Amino acid sequence: FAGAGGGGCPWCFSQVKGAIDEDVAEADIISTVEFNYSGDLLATGDKGGRVVIFQREQENKSRPHSRGEYNVYSTFQSHEPEFDYLKSLEIEEKINKIRWLPQQNAAHFLLSTNDKTIKLWKISERDKRAEGYNLKDEDGRLRDPFRITALRVHVAFPMDLMVEASPRRIFANAHTYHINSISVNSDHETYLSADDLRINLWHLEITDRSFNIVDIKPANMEELTEVITAAEFHPHQCNVFVYSSSKGTIRLCDMRSSALCDRHSKFFEEPEDPSSRSFFSEIISSISDVKFSHSGRYMMTRDYLSVKVWDLNMESRPVETHQVHEYLRSKLCSLYENDCIFDKFECCWNGSDSAIMTGSYNNFFRMFDRDTRRDVTLEASRESSKPRASLKPRKVCTGGKRRKDEISVDSLDFNKKILHTAWHPVDNVIAVAATNNLYIFQDKIN
Amino acid sequence: MSQKQEEENPAEETGEEKQDTQEKEGILPERAEEAKLKAKYPSLGQKPGGSDFLMKRLQKGQKYFDSGDYNMAKAKMKNKQLPSAGPDKNLVTGDHIPTPQDLPQRKSSLVTSKLAG
């Protein structure tokens, strides 16, 4: 798919959401993107604590090209800014992660979290209204009971679809440090939340109790050497989860072995060549995201310069390493000075686990086809956003001679970072968050 | 899985070989970058991933205000100006006493997202 020879890149622009103006309000910066299990719903969270959910349009014979378009379904304020007076701590309303629950009835449920509090939201549809109540008039006033002489059954009339979001559970006060991950278990009853030093296990029905399953806080904080950066439950084995660290390691834990999983069952780390160690080594090895494959056989990690695929059966080294933007290695000094070296990029698998995607700078994002070993760099920009326009692969030039359509490393815009991307669970549809805009791309076959 | 990797290597001339070469060439740029950084900031500590750096990450969002300190400072420096916050208002160090004016204004973001517009 990454562009077979003369066939051209199969990815086409589909839609872009968000304001066009140059002045981006901080609240509008998208901080998380997630498809639900069927791919019919696409949720985004932003720095202003708001959630916007898009729904895919059904196939329509009279408008064949509208099939697969995502339109606004619901939007609500999930979290608000808070101040913890006891600890003198400002709590941002920024939504760090959204995770959908598998659908069990007509309503949809999702978990959204900021730094401190996780909330379970119910999104339900109302498309009927009732008329003919016994005790109320049509305008809502109570009827005088003595005037009621006959019994009547109310009738349901269709009304314009109304989508309501309501908070059903609030899971608060369980994290001293900042929550970076939430992950729903395959048992559909529990989920985990991870902060810098601890991981907690929750039951979706119970908000006043949480079990601590990982605690890496040292007795003496001066001895702190690493923090937890991401965590996820295994897609099928409800007793297994992994968590990654700022030192580039991944630990797999089995909750059957003990109540507190401080001792890992498996430890994944790629051996480092000591002669190549530099001041930046540890910082760029910090893992910003970890994702299991849909099959559950592999997991993928994202560090600053690469994406690695690990076989869960082999702890000694990854089975694949894909360079995202190796040309940045000779820019590490300035990337450290402007803090970009601490940017946390996410990564994702396609539905069949045959391809992976991650973001980069200059609104570029990268896709790697694991079968053909091909990779491609694409750009999310308003310039290439004509309906169904094919995306043109981009190339960054590192050497002296720059070809006409290449861009040099020094011209890259490091303020345009694509940190969040999502891939439809079944189809070749991707959602890419570029600061305050959400781009949706589809492959030509659609 | 490791078997699969070995089978694919010959066809590709270098899954690992290429990576090795890249890494060897990569050592020089990374070390050069390190030298550049040390030249700019000679006092930079040896261990970047150490305790100080992580502590700063854990303390994100911390805003300190001590009304006692504030009033004492005001009383002591009746005739002088209180040292005001530098460009980085989030850094509270040394003699600087945070004042109510220094604290960033609480934002209210109860406006609908432009994605939904």
CB-based contact, A218 to chain B, within 8 Å: no
Q: What is the pLDDT of residue B50?
A: 62
Question: In B, which residues are within 8 Å of A436 by CB distance?
Answer: 114
Find the residue in A nearest to B27 (Cα).
A276
Question: Which of A316-330, A373-387, B9-23: highest mean pLDDT?
Answer: A316-330
Q: What is the pLDDT of residue B100?
A: 60
Find the residue in B nearest to A82 (Cα).
B106
Q: Is the pLDDT assigned to residue A303 strictly greater than 90?
A: yes
Q: Is the pLDDT assigned to residue B2 strictly greater than 70?
A: no
Q: Is the pLDDT assigned to residue A318 strictly greater than 80?
A: yes
Q: Is the pLDDT assigned to residue B15 strictly greater than 60?
A: no
Q: Is the pLDDT assigned to residue A391 strictly greater than 90?
A: yes
pLDDT in tens, B30-47: 889 999 998 998 877 665
Tell me what the mean pLDDT of segment B58-65 comes to.
75
Tell me what the mean pLDDT of segment A406-414 comes to.
94
Cα A424 from Cα A376, distance rounded (Å): 19
Which range, of A151-165, A432-446, B20-34, B87-101, averages the lowest pLDDT? B87-101
Q: Is the pLDDT assigned to residue B80 strictly greater than 90?
A: no
Cβ of B58 and A46 within 8 Å? no
- Considering only CB atoms, B116 lies closest to which of A52, A314, A336, namely A52
Cβ of A48 and B117 within 8 Å? no
CB-based contact, A279 to chain B, within 8 Å: yes
pLDDT in tens, A143-180: 888 888 888 888 999 999 999 999 999 999 999 999 99
Which is nearest to A99 in space by CA: A181, A201, A198?
A: A181
Confidence of residue B55 (pLDDT cuts 50, 70, 90): confident
- Considering only CB atoms, B109 lies closest to which of A72, A93, A273, namely A93
Cβ of A30 and B115 within 8 Å? yes
Which is nearest to A318 in space by CA: A333, A307, A332, A308?
A: A308
Let me know: does A26 contact A47? Beta carbons within 8 Å: yes
CA A174 → CA A115, A166, A192, A224, A251, distances in Å? Answer: 11, 22, 11, 21, 22
A vs B, Cβ pairs < 8 A, gives: 146
Q: Is the pLDDT assigned to residue A389 strictly greater than 60?
A: yes
Which carries the bigger pLDDT value, residue B52 or residue A371?
Answer: A371
Which range, of A11-15, A135-139, A375-379, B91-95, averages the lowest pLDDT? B91-95
Which carries the bigger pLDDT value, residue A355 or residue B73?
Answer: A355
Q: What is the pLDDT of residue A324?
A: 98
Q: Residue ranges of the alpha helices (H) in A193-347? A: 281-285, 332-337
Q: What is the pLDDT of residue A66?
A: 57
Radius of gyration of chain A measured on its C-alpha atoms: 24
CB-based contact, A37 to chain B, within 8 Å: no
Q: How close B113 gets to chain A, by Cα (Å)?
A: 7
Tell me what the mean pLDDT of segment A45-72 comes to.
85
- The b/e string for A104-131 (b: 16+ C-beta within 10 A; e otherwise) is eeeebbbbbbbbbbbbbbebeeeeeeee
Tell me what the mean pLDDT of segment B74-101 comes to.
58
What region does A287 belong to: left with phi over 0, alpha with psi -120 to 50, or beta?
A: beta
Mean per-residue pLDDT over chain A, rounded: 92
Tell me what the mean pLDDT of segment A406-423 comes to.
96
Confidence of residue A90 (pLDDT cuts 50, 70, 90): confident
CB-based contact, A413 to chain B, within 8 Å: no
Cβ of B113 and A50 within 8 Å? yes
Cα A346 from Cα A423, distance rounded (Å): 12
Question: In A, which residues are within 8 Å of B4 by CB distance?
Answer: 319
Cα A439 from Cα A387, distance rounded (Å): 12
Which range, of A42-56, A77-91, A241-255, B60-74, averages the lowest pLDDT? B60-74
Pairing of strands A240-245, A228-233: antiparallel
CA A438 → CA A33, A194, A255, A432, B17, distances in Å? Answer: 9, 27, 38, 6, 39
What percent of chain B has pLDDT above 70? 40
Which SS3 state, helix, strand or coil, does residue A72 take? strand
Q: What is the pLDDT of residue B1?
A: 44
Cβ of B49 and A247 within 8 Å? yes
Confidence of residue A58 (pLDDT cuts 50, 70, 90): confident
Name residue A43's beta-bridge partners. Answer: A34, A53
Cβ of A75 and B55 within 8 Å? no
Tell me what the mean pLDDT of segment A238-257 comes to.
97
Sequence ranges of the domains in chain B: 28-61
Question: In B, which residues are within 8 Å of A247 by CB distance?
Answer: 49
Which residues have a Cβ under 8 Å from the Cβ of B46 and sit 6 or more positions away?
Answer: none
Cα A56 from Cα A85, distance rounded (Å): 43
Tell me what the mean pLDDT of segment B73-81 comes to.
66
Find the residue in B nearest to A329 (Cα).
B30
Find the residue in A nearest to B19 (Cα).
A321
Cβ of B109 and A83 within 8 Å? no
Question: In B, which residues are within 8 Å of A89 by CB distance?
Answer: 61-63
Q: What is the pLDDT of residue A5?
A: 32
CB-based contact, A321 to chain B, within 8 Å: yes
CB-based contact, A402 to chain B, within 8 Å: no
**Reported pTM:** 0.85
Cβ of B19 and A321 within 8 Å? yes
Best probe of the A interface among B8, B25, B33, by most A CBs < 10 A, is: B33
Which range, of A36-50, A365-379, B87-101, averages the lowest pLDDT? B87-101
Which residue is it, tokens 């420096």? B77
- Considering only CB atoms, A178 lies closest to which of B32, B40, B60, namely B60
CB-based contact, A170 to chain B, within 8 Å: no
Cβ of A89 and B61 within 8 Å? yes
Q: How close A271 gets to chain B, by Cα (Å)?
A: 13
Question: In A, which residues are within 8 Å of B100 by CB distance?
Answer: none
Which range, of A226-230, A395-399, B46-50, averages the lowest pLDDT? B46-50
Cβ of A50 and B112 within 8 Å? yes
Question: In B, which residues are within 8 Å of A299 by CB distance?
Answer: none
Cα A369 from Cα A359, distance rounded (Å): 15
